């Protein structure tokens, strides 16, 4: 049995202190929606391990694809070399994405995919003769990763990286899109959130390379579902002011919101798109940044025609093979039944939480359920209760949320909701 005392002394966990890392469970194995702990306890992974395991853990088709790839080519550098899985994945991605959004750069994590997107935008503006367009704009309440430039796009005052202070280069922020996904749209720009975007572009647009946003669902920055019309309005403003639009679908991509990509709710196509997380079905870390042909052409026209990025594990064949198998599962279409069913179960199961004094809002979209509380939760107590009830949840602050694998049953979702409602009802 692995030594937990050794792990506590030596292993850092995400967003944790080495002195007091808080409780961690030892996981022995995972299959379907289930995590099995070292002592045999089983928990439903209501988090899909942070949005990744959309088809459930260790899906046999994904395991077989990776095993077959291991037999012939686990890894090879992508500089000057290529391989069939990389091409097969590119064929699948271009088949799924809007026409013209088809110049693909593979990388190894979502944060890096965002960094690459920002480089693409700045290099493309340079290629179009706009050397001054180097700033990035975004909406408050977003989350784009933990690398330096990505951090600068999370809220610098109140966001999780605010203590880095002046070390994080501040970008331009507009307020969080104010109108909720299912609320009535208001045409008045002063109230629908588009006014501040237009004001920013009118004042500073000549220095802005791109506007980056998570389409419709802002994830780790607040689990907020915004009105698709806001995104459509931002697209129009970007076009009017020559600002490139980057959509970060790292969390929302591949069916999670009920559409294959969340941008489809708004009928919007970006200039640059970031994908990650569920692309491999949660088998391993992998991501892609996809530029339009025009962006790729503009970069090639620039003083530095090469896109200046090249991670060691770029295009890793195992990750490409897992992604191909994952996209094949999506193409078979079960998610089109599963995600709306999960949405219905979550709506019913979480509704009782609306009655509690400590609950500010309950919202559901696709296979994402959120209970927003007035006060932050006691994480140690949540951790213990999750183990007791057999449901793995990982709230942050006042946000208690789930995004289970699409293959959950009605019974699994009922159990997840029961635990979430129980926690939301704590005095």
Q: Is 280 in the site for ligand PLP (CB under 6 A)?
A: no
List the x/- string, 203-232, binding to ligand PLP by CB under 6 A: -----------x----xx------------
248 is in an annotated binding site: yes
- Applying CB under 6 A, the span of 78-86, 90-98, 188-196, 243-251 interacting with ligand PLP comes to 243-251
Using CB under 6 A, which of 110, 205, 315, 349 touches ligand PLP? 110
Minimum distance of ligand PLP from residue 279's CB (angstroms):
10
45, 108, 119, 143: which one is catalytic?
Answer: 143
By CB under 6 A, the residues from 111 to 170 that bind ligand PLP are: 111, 114, 143-145
SS (H, E, C) the chain: CCCHHHHHHHCCCCCCCCCCCCCCCCEEEEEECEEEECCCCEEEECCHHHHCCCCCECCHHHHHHHHHHHHHCCCCCCCCCCCHHHHHHHHHHHHHCCCCEEEEEEECCHHHHHHHHHHHHHHHHHHCCCCCCCEEEEECCCCCCCCHHHHCCCCCCCCCCHHHHHHCCCCEEECCCCCECCCCCCCCHHHHCHHHHHHHHHHHHHHEEEEEECCCEECCCCCEEECHHHHHHHHHHHHHHCCEEEEECCCCCCCCCCCCCHHHHCCCCCCEEEECHHHHCCCCCCEEEEEEHHHHHHHHHCCCCCCCCCCCCCCCHHHHHHHHHHHHHHHHCHHHHHHHHHHHHHHHHHHHHHHCCCEEEEEEECCEEEEEECCCCCHHHHHHHHHHHCEECCCECCEEEECCCCCCCHHHHHHHHHHHHHHHCCC
Catalytic, 106? Answer no
Using CB under 6 A, which of 45, 115, 155, 248 touches ligand PLP? 248
By CB under 6 A, the residues from 90 to 109 that bind ligand PLP are: 109
Catalytic, 149? Answer no
The number of residues that bind ligand PLP (CB under 6 A) is 14
Minimum distance of ligand PLP from residue 148's CB (angstroms):
12
110 is in an annotated binding site: yes
Nearer to ligand PLP by Cβ, of 356 and 396: the residue is 396
45, 106, 271, 277: which one is catalytic?
Answer: 277
Catalytic, 277? Answer yes
List the x/- string, 168-207, binding to ligand PLP by CB under 6 A: ----------------------------------------
By CB under 6 A, the residues from 321 to 380 that bind ligand PLP are: none
Using CB under 6 A, which of 276, 302, 349, 366 touches ligand PLP? 276
394 is in an annotated binding site: yes
- Applying CB under 6 A, the span of 110-118, 261-269, 339-347, 353-361 interacting with ligand PLP comes to 110-118
19 is in an annotated binding site: no
Q: Is 256 in the site for ligand PLP (CB under 6 A)?
A: no
CA distances from 49 to 93, 219, 268, 392 (A): 23, 14, 28, 9
184 is in an annotated binding site: no
311 is in an annotated binding site: yes
The contact set with ligand PLP (CB under 6 A) reads 109-111, 114, 143-145, 214, 219-220, 248, 250-251, 276
Active site residue ranges: 15, 143, 248, 277
């Amino acid at each position: 049995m692995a030594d937990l005392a050794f792990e506590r002394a030596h292993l850092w966990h995400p967003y944790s202190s080495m002195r007091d890392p808080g409780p961690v469970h030892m996981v022995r194995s995972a299959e379907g929606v289930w995590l099995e702990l070292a002592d045999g306890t089983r928990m439903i992974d209501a988090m899909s391990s942070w949005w990744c395991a959309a088809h459930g853990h260790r899906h046999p088709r994904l395991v077989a694809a990776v095993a077959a790839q291991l037999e012939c080519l686990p890894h090879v550098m992508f500089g000057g070399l290529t391989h069939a899985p990389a091409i097969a994945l590119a064929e699948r991605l271009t088949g799924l994405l809007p026409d013209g959004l088809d110049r693909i750069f593979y990388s190894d994590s979502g944060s890096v995919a965002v960094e690459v997107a920002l480089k693409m935008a700045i290099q493309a503006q340079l290629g179009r003769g706009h050397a001054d367009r180097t700033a990035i704009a975004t909406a408050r309440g977003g989350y784009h990763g933990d690398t330096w430039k990505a951090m600068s796009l999370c809220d610098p005052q109140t966001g999780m990286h605010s203590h880095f202070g002046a070390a994080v280069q501040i970008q331009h922020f507009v307020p969080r899109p104010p109108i909720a996904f299912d609320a009535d749209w208001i045409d008045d720009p002063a109230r629908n959130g588009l006014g501040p975007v237009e004001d920013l572009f009118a004042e500073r647009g000549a220095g802005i390379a791109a506007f980056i946003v998570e389409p419709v669902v802002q994830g780790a920055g607040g689990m907020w579902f915004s009105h698709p019309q806001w995104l459509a309005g931002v697209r129009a403003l970007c076009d009017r002011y020559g600002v490139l639009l980057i959509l970060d679908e790292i969390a929302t991509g591949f069916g999670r919101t009920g559409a294959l990509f969340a941008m489809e709710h708004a009928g919007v196509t970006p200039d640059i798109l970031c994908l990650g997380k569920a692309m491999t079905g949660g088998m391993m870390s992998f991501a892609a940044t996809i530029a339009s042909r025009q962006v790729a052409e503009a970069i090639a026209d620039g003083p530095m025609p090469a896109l200046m990025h090249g991670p060691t594990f770029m295009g890793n064949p195992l990750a490409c093979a897992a992604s191909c198998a994952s996209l094949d599962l999506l193409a078979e279409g079960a998610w089109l039944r599963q995600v709306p069913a999960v949405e219905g179960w979550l709506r019913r199961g979480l509704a009782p939480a609306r009655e509690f004094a400590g609950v500010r809002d309950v919202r559901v979209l696709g296979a994402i359920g959120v209970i927003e509380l007035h006060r932050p939760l006691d994480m140690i107590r949540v951790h213990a209760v999750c183990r007791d009830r057999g449901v793995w949840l990982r709230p942050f602050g006042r946000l208690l949320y789930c995004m289970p694998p699409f293959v959950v049953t009605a019974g699994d979702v009922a159990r997840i909701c029961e635990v979430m409602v129980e926690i939301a009802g704590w005095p």
